[in-house]
Amino acid sequence: MEHWKITVKGKVQGVYFRASTKAVADHLGLKGMVYNQPDGHSVYIEAEGSLFALESLLEFCKEGPDKAEVSDVLCQRSTDLLGYRNFEIIKKPHQ
* Residues 19-64: tens digit of each pLDDT: 999 999 999 999 999 999 999 999 999 999 999 999 999 999 999 9
Residue among 33, 68, 29 at smallest CA distance from 51: 29
User: How many CB atoms are closer than 10 A to CB 89?
Assistant: 12
Beta bridge partners of 48: 3, 31
| 1, 8, 55, 59 from 19: Cα distances, Å | 23, 14, 19, 16
Task: Determine the pLDDT at residue 93.
Answer: 65
Catalytic residues: 18, 36
How confident is the model at residue 94, as a pLDDT?
A: 60
pLDDT of residue 92: 74
